[in-house]
Amino acid sequence: MVDATVVVVDVVVEVDVVVVLVVVVVDVDVVLVVDVVVEAVVAGAVCVTGGSSGARVVCTPTLPTSVSLVTSTDTVPHAAVDTMSTRSPATRASRAAIDRTVPVARLPVRSPTTDNLSRVSGAASSAAPAGRYDNHPFIQACRGLPHDRVPVWFMRQAGRSLPEYRAIRGTGTILDAIADPDLSTEITLQPIRRYDVDAAILYSDIVVPAHAVGFGLTVTPGVGPEVERPFRHEDDLARLRPLDPEADTPYVLETVRQLVAELDRPLIGFAGAPFTVASYLIEGRPSRDYANTKAMMFANERLWHALCDRLADIAISSLQSQIDNGASAIQLFDSWAGSLSPAQYQRYVFPHSQKVMDAIADTGVPKIHFGVTTGELLPQISAVGADVVGVDWRVPLDAARERVGHGTSLQGNLDPTVVFAGAEFACEAARDVLRLNDGHPGHVFNLGHGVMPAMDPDVLTEIVKVVHEEGTVRS
């Protein structure tokens, strides 16, 4: 028991739903804003754990004002100026009263006892009927539900490391290949056949929607996305009209439909998050420091938010159309968000990624959210609305779990470069990842970032075998 003041700022009780906003004042310098959403009333106390602080709060759903802090650590990430939408006017007013200069963290908090229930019944009941792959280990792991083997897939599993990819890819840009549904379907299926991974990821790219609305970009082999006239001014907004997926990217949807017809396992749809796509449009090519991007967000915040709002709408249309055509899960790639501090992320990025996640929440499909070097951002990446948080190799899985809360699933997090050390070393490293996860049902095995072109596919095959044969899932 630590010395702390717990203030229940707002309690909203609806039929079968209790929403509690708790502010925990640990000492004069540390304030945790714990936004608790319990989507099923259960008998007895609800225990919620919060983020990297390790704060644990116990409350009784029917008597939400009786809250006591039973454990806490005395360090809290200097995460966020809290700019998020809140759930009631009372909450909003209370939040506005919080001193915005105090380090504040909005911690994603779920009850271990109710979370699994809420993630299935809460998410799915209001939306899609029971999905075709609801009992598949990949979907179950995304939801933190019991399943019989650790699921595994690899980011960038479809692509240049596969000789069969190079054989059929052709000489045009990847945008040409994506525009051919038969070819894209075949490329998506290649890693399924070779590795027997548990999910397929659509062969496409995060810049396809911006290309399709005519922004003017290409993807240069060996370099990445390149823009002829980078986004600089207000006028450039006109180059980002809304995406009409059926009219603008019919080939993507045809690929999704073909895949859904052919696959015997879940298909992951995806989109680029507003920040990462904006970074390509503003920089004009891949960047190390994101200097132009950050200069715009700091110096012209209004234009930055206008740009990200458009990119959020484009991502929403794209994701929704992939789900409508049969994608069983989605991943929002914010690959380069790790270039931001937690406060920068909260102010300039969080609201836009949250808008995307909120917009597709009703579909009920699991939402994965991934970025590289996001160790300091994990609580926020999770709070955006992710069911699964992608973790790179820099944060051990057990530490990551503390940071996002035990109710959120994790994806990752084998250092991709171990593959270059050969099968024996890579498989031992994969076992280390499994050991750190310790059988937690909320784990999708993956690399901490994508497959690289020079990797030996046979090593990846061995890793899949180790995960499937040796991974354990606690019930």
Binding site residues, ligand CP3, CB under 6 A: 155-160, 169, 174, 201, 203-206, 219, 221-225, 270, 286, 333, 335, 450
Please state whether 86 falls in left (phi above 0), alpha (psi between -120 and 50) or beta: beta
Which C-beta is closer to ligand CP3: that of 223 or that of 295?
223
Least CB distance to ligand CP3 at residue 283 (A) = 12
Distance (Å, whole) CA 218 – CA 227: 6
Least CB distance to ligand CP3 at residue 194 (A) = 12
Neighbours of 66 (CB within 10 A): 12
Least CB distance to ligand CP3 at residue 368 (A) = 11
8 Å CB contact between 461 and 426: no
The number of residues in the chain equals 475
Residue 54, judged by CB atoms within 10 A of its CB (0-12, 13-18, 19+), counts as middle
Distance (Å, whole) CA 131 – CA 122: 14
Which C-beta is closer to ligand CP3: that of 6 or that of 217?
217
Distance (Å, whole) CA 147 – CA 90: 41
Q: Quick one: three-class SS letters along 424-442? A: HHHHHHHHHHHHHHCCCCC
Least CB distance to ligand CP3 at residue 241 (A) = 22
8 Å CB contact between 16 and 125: no
Which C-beta is closer to ligand CP3: that of 33 or that of 337?
337
Least CB distance to ligand CP3 at residue 262 (A) = 16
Least CB distance to ligand CP3 at residue 331 (A) = 7
- E strand map for 61-134: 63-71, 104-110
Please state whether 364 falls in left (phi above 0), alpha (psi between -120 and 50) or beta: left
Which C-beta is closer to ligand CP3: that of 171 or that of 475?
171
Distance (Å, whole) CA 31 – CA 5: 10
Q: Which helix (H) or strand (E) holds 182?
A: helix 181-195
Q: Cis peptide before 413, with omega less than 30 degrees from 0? A: yes
8 Å CB contact between 325 and 90: no
Instruction: Retrieve residue 385's tokens.
Output: 């609305």
Least CB distance to ligand CP3 at residue 133 (A) = 19
Which C-beta is closer to ligand CP3: that of 392 or that of 402?
392
Query: What are the residues facing 200 on neighbouring strands?
Result: 267
The dihedral built from the CA positions of residue 273, 277, 282 and 285, taken in this order, carries a sign that is positive
Instruction: Retrieve residue 103's tokens.
Output: 């380090």
Which C-beta is closer to ligand CP3: that of 240 or that of 332?
332
Nearest to 474 by CA among 153, 141, 111, 196: 141
Which C-beta is closer to ligand CP3: that of 52 or that of 279?
279
Which C-beta is closer to ligand CP3: that of 273 or that of 307?
273
**Tokens 């959210």, located at residue:** 369
Catalytic positions, please?
Answer: 156, 160, 169, 205, 280
Least CB distance to ligand CP3 at residue 353 (A) = 14
